[in-house]
Amino acid sequence: MQQPPPPRYVLQVSTGKWRKQPASLSAGSVKEAEYLQNSMDYFLKRAMCASVPAAADSNHTPRLIAEAPKELEWFETRHCPRSSRVPSFSSAPLDVNPIVGLLCDVPLYDTCDALVQQKGVMWERLQDGLLDDVALQLSFDEFYGVCERLVPNMVSREYLQRMFYLLLSGDEKDSLPLSSFFSFLVEHAFHPALDRNVDALFRAFDPDGTGVISAATLTSKVVFAWAELNLFGNLRVEWEKLAAALKVTNGVDLRIVDGARLLTPEATRAVFCASHKLYAVMESIDMDGPHLGKSSS
């Protein structure tokens, strides 16, 4: 005989407080769905409410199975709106994909290094200028090789293949631009300091709000000169730290954005995340100023 389920605590959105909610065994719609915090809560309760009549009516089970995908789609549409940050130079859709979670513990610059090693000679030919105006493509076999290096024995090849093909747009049959894939990972990563510093760069070098800056501004001499002319005190020191890092790295590597000379905020984040040195600096400085405290004059 089925035992009654334990009470569940649900969040009351209007008050911000948790309330004990005894779960009912009666069938019917789940009126508390708007208060449940995730899809697991929703479908556990749905299964619990429908379990008794389903046992009495064998014809009811297939209908529940058929309705499950529709209910999942409804729940995710209501509670998980799509991201609005779409790279302007990228054609990959920016929906949530398990690949993001699979690689979330791998630093972005390590992922970039693995992608570079996978492309091998073709990447070097880009550096030598032998493949102008060519966007490197990433096939599934190459992506699988990257995952084998970074997260071995995590998921099956078949599952990874299904997730990879979800990233492809309608006109992409079996590969996607490498720059698009890397930007996809960058835009789903959490790096608030880097985001804030990229915004500061655009306020400095894109005063008219065109949405792009020249790649030539991301050089040591330009950043040093701009800081000397426009800043003072601790804030100037922060900008000079970036300039010093750009001097060490000889600027940014534009190959990860297909050699673009006009950089969007998404492309700018990508070039900084592709370098260990630049990423570390951009995450450790504050070029925007509000967290510096009082500046010395």
Over the stretch 220-240, which tens digit does the pLDDT of each residue have?
Answer: 999 999 999 999 899 999 999
pLDDT digits (tens, 9 = 90+) for 159-196: 899 889 888 876 667 889 999 999 999 999 989 999 99
Amino acid symbol at 145: G
The pLDDT score that the predictor gives to residue 114 is 93
Q: Which helix (H) or strand (E) holds 123?
A: helix 121-127
161 residue type, one letter = Q
Q: Reply yes or no on domain 192-283 having CATH 1.10.238.
A: yes
Rounded CA separation 67/71 (Å): 6
Q: Which amino acid is at 283?
A: E
- CA atoms of 181 and 92, how far apart (whole Å): 7
Write the CB contacts of 140 (distance below 8 Å, at least 6 apart in sequence). Answer: 161, 164, 165, 174, 175
* Global pTM value: 0.66
pLDDT at 45: 53
The label of the residue with tokens 């749905």 reads: 46
From residue 167, give the alpha-carbon distance in Å to each of 171, 175, 178, 265: 12, 9, 12, 21
Tokens of 165: 């093909």
- In sequence order, the 6+-apart residues with CB closer than 8 A to the CB of 292 are 234, 235, 238, 286
Mean pLDDT, residues 125-142 = 72
Kindly state the tokens that stand for 253.
């590597």
Report the amino acid identity of residue 194: L
**pLDDT bucket at 118, cuts 50 / 70 / 90:** confident
Give the C-alpha separation, 28 to 50, whole Å: 7
